[in-house]
Chains A and B, each alone.
Chain A
Amino acid sequence: MNDVVACTRAEFARLRKWPAFWIVLGTWIALNLVFAYLFNYLAYTSGSSSRMSNGQPREVLLQLMLPAAVPEVFTQGMAMFGGALMLVLGALVVGSGYGWGSWKTVFTQGPSRRAVVGGTVVSLMSVVVGLVGAAFVVDTGVAAMIGAAEHRTPTLPTAAHTLLGLATGVVILGMWTLAGALIAAIARGPALAVGLGLVWVLVVENLLRGVASIFSPVRALTDHLPGTAAGSAAGAMRTVGGTATPGVLDILSRPASFVVLAVYIAVFACGTVALMVRRDMA
């Protein structure tokens, strides 16, 4: 166990100085702000109609930009660009070591491979927790500024709703991050992993769900795909009707989506560790 802690610290020590790491996380926060607040606020302040483009009344749109709605709003982007970006991060963290030869170096330092890769998995999940927390704080700050600008009484989300939102964020982004890590371990590099992963997240799952709508026997499968579970978990956070954010679904219930995501997290984490422990490091 001490070895895993030491390996996690070592992984953090190198991640925090990696520009690509901060670029991916920064992009995630920026896109989250752009799609959750910037465009909506611009539409709210410049729109003349009583209903906005998504069919919501202006007042509802404003409610979604206030602090009380942060747990709901900040999870909506996770099913689409958020998941894709975190998959890229996972693929880069695990895959780059093959190209640089750093896995080979680290695997001969002393701790077992299980501890080293376990440390990487733990550090990735810690990054996810940190990112979700940071996004929540940033979003709450921006929402508070919007509330102040619109002269609304600041109302924070309830603790239960906050925890639910944070947990939803962690399981969605954690699943995609570890999916990227596993694909990179399989591909032994970041490039193929990023390419295949993005094609899966952005294209293949949507196509499969399209197939399921005309060929019901595959529905049992498509209802439990990673993207379906992630979209459903995000969808379960919604409190208003109307057009959902792309990727946000209502196929699975919250408990069912959490169970499916937890299974994927366990499978991806164990798969990454098992693969890197057993396979030759050529």
Chain B
Amino acid sequence: MNRSNADPAGEFPGTVTQTRASATEVVVTESLTKKYGDHTAVDAVSMTVRRGEIYGFLGPNGAGKTTTLRMLVGLIAPTSGTATVLGLNPGERESLRRIGVLIEGPGFYPYLSGRDNLRVLARYHLTERTAGSRPRDRFAEVDEILARVGLADRAGDRFRTYSLGMKQRLGVGAALLGNPDLLILDEPTNGLDPAGMAEMRELVTGLAADGHTVVLSSHLLSEVQEICDRVGVISGGKLLTESTVSQLRGAATLLVRAEPMEKAYPAVRRVVGEHRALPTAAGIRVDAGRAMAPEVARAVIASGADLLELRTDEKSLEEVFFEMTKQEHR
């Protein structure tokens, strides 16, 4: 499922507005800042995550992604600024009970099996919900989760014997304990092979489809482009932008290759308007969407030119990201 064009808040033209009623802000930060001495790791980040969306937190290594996420779960205190998570202060008991977290790699007891690790965590996590319940019932969820993250067969093996990918899966499994409303996953595909990454993407989109809100940090642009509804781009501790993936990539353009250009170019300009067609080395770049393609094709052919190629030309998130971070570093 490619959710990159979805817009759960229904803010943008042409998107479904049905979700607007249920759209509430799950994570809100205002000028969130973290300094270590003179170094500003996170610099006045103001971001918003809405209920039910997959929010991609995108940035190169050392950009401040993990530090920001750590502040959202109360592992570190901000130097200044505010944050609310599920309407509560970060790290507050009720907030943590409704969040599933995987931050900066999985942290488990190496001498325990994957199953026992989750059972220990379940004892911490489920103190009220399962008060008085039998251990057998309390731990049923653990086995379900292990199956969901694909570790059922190795659940009895010690954590220290797991591959990096298996450790990562167990980390995601731990985040699922207690069926949280919000999942905060920091680089969840780290260490996974291509098949594992695809499975992880499927798992994340499945979780979102089940009603979970997911904040996913990554430096893998293709991953974010593929599964996220909205993204925040962070670099050097600063949030450069926050928008939908499609908005960030900009409107699609058409690329027309035709011979001879002297005939084709004026014909295209007549159809789309004088200022929306630009001759480039690659062809005529037309500032118009896919809907204009048939009309443009007819105009080129009618002009007597040969139409060699006509396709939509969209910037990848990677191109956008590099443009933004390049500007930031200038």
**Chain A residues at the B interface, C-beta cutoff of 8 Å:** 2-3, 6-7, 9-10, 13-14, 17-20, 100-113, 116, 280-282
Q: Is the CB of A109 within 8 A of B177?
A: yes
Query: Beyond the given A101-B104, A104-B103, A281-B70, could you list 14 further A-B residue pairs with CB under 8 A, ordered by the A residue number?
Result: A2-B128, A13-B120, A14-B116, A18-B109, A102-B109, A104-B75, A106-B121, A108-B73, A108-B75, A108-B99, A109-B96, A110-B124, A110-B126, A111-B124
A66 to B125, CA, bound (A): 49
Contact (Cβ within 8 A) B75 A17: no
Task: Give complex CA distance A9, B123 in Å.
Answer: 7
User: What's the least CB distance linking B66 to chain A, in Å?
Assistant: 10
A6, B91: Cα distance in complex, Å: 18
Give min CB distance, A4 to chain B, whole Å: 10
Residues on A with C-beta less than 8 A from B70 are: 280-282
- Measured between beta carbons, the chain B residues less than 8 angstroms from A6 are 123-124, 127
CB distance B107 to A105 under 8 Å?
Answer: yes
Smallest CB separation, B113 vs chain A (Å): 9
Once A104-B75, A280-B77, A281-B76 are accepted as A-B contacts, the answer to whether A109 and B124 lie under 8 Å apart by CB is: yes
Pair B106/A105 contact, Cβ less than 8 Å: yes
Residues of chain B within 8 A (CB-CB) of A104 are 75, 103-104, 107
Asked whether B111 is an interface residue with its Cβ less than 8 Å from the other chain, the reply is: yes
Is the pair A105, B77 in contact by a Cβ cutoff of 8 Å?
no
B162 close to A (CB within 8 Å) = no
By a beta-carbon cutoff of 8 Å, the part of chain B in contact with chain A is 70, 73-77, 91, 93, 96-97, 99, 101, 103-112, 116, 119-121, 123-128, 131, 174, 177-178
What A residues does B128 contact at CB under 8 A?
2
Contact A17 B111 (CB under 8 A): yes
Chain A positions within 8 Å of B73 at CB level: 108
The answer on a CB contact under 8 Å between A14 and B76 is no
* CB nearest to A4 among chain B residues: B127
A70: min CB distance to chain B, Å: 34
Residue among A13, A18, A105 with most chain B CB within 10 A? A105
Contacts between chains A and B (CB distance < 8 A), count:
93
B interface: dominant SS: loop
Given that A100-B110, A281-B75 are contacting pairs, would A106 and B93 also be in contact in the complex, using a CB cutoff of 8 Å? no
Return chain A residues, CB-CB under 8 Å to B121. Answer: 10, 105-106, 109
Give complex CA distance A187, B70 in Å: 21
**Residues of the B chain whose Cβ atoms lie less than 8 Å from the Cβ of A13:** 116, 119-120, 123
- Contact among B77, B93, B120 with A110 in the assembled complex (CB-CB below 8 Å): B93
A112 contact from B93, B104, B106, B111, Cβ within 8 A:
B93
Query: Which residues of B lie under 8 Å from residue A100 when comparing CB positions?
Result: 107-110
Q: How far is the CB of B289 from chain A (nearest CB, A)?
A: 44
- Smallest CB gap from B125: residue in A: A109
- The CA-CA distance from A103 to B77 in the complex, in Å, is 16
Complex CA gap A2/B128 in Å reads 8
CA distance A14 to B111 in the complex (A): 9
A110 touches B112 (CB 8 A): no
Instruction: Tell me the nearest residue of chain B to A13, going by C-beta.
Output: B120
A282 contact from B76, B105, B124, Cβ within 8 A: B76
Q: Which residue of B lies closest to A96 (CB)?
A: B109
Q: What are some 29 contacts across the A-B interface (CB < 8 A)?
A: A2-B128, A2-B131, A6-B124, A10-B124, A13-B120, A13-B123, A14-B109, A14-B120, A17-B111, A19-B111, A20-B111, A100-B109, A102-B107, A102-B109, A103-B107, A104-B103, A105-B106, A109-B121, A110-B93, A110-B97, A110-B126, A110-B127, A110-B178, A111-B93, A112-B93, A116-B124, A280-B75, A282-B70, A282-B76
In the complex formed, the residue of A with least CB distance to B71 is A280
Minimum CB–CB distance for B178 against chain A, Å: 7
Give which listed residue, A2, A17, A106, contacts B124 with CB less than 8 A.
A106
Which residues of A sit under 8 angstroms from B96, Cβ to Cβ?
A: 108-110
Complex contact A14–B112 (CB within 8 A): yes
- Chain A residue numbers with a CB within 8 Å of B104 are 101, 104
Are the C-beta atoms of B123 and A10 separated by less than 8 Å? yes
Nearest CB in chain A to that of B123: its residue: A10
Query: Is there an interface contact between B120 and A10, defined as CB atoms closer than 8 Å?
Result: yes
Q: Distance in Å from the Cβ of A191 to the closest Cβ of chain B?
A: 16
B114 to chain A, nearest CB (A): 13
| B198 to A: closest C-beta gap in Å | 26
Q: A99 to nearest B CB, angstroms? A: 9
A14: which B residues are within 8 A, CB to CB? 109, 112, 116, 120
CB closest chain-A residue, reference B119: A13
Q: What's the nearest-Cβ distance from chain A to residue B125, in Å?
A: 4
Bound: A49/B103 CA distance, A: 68
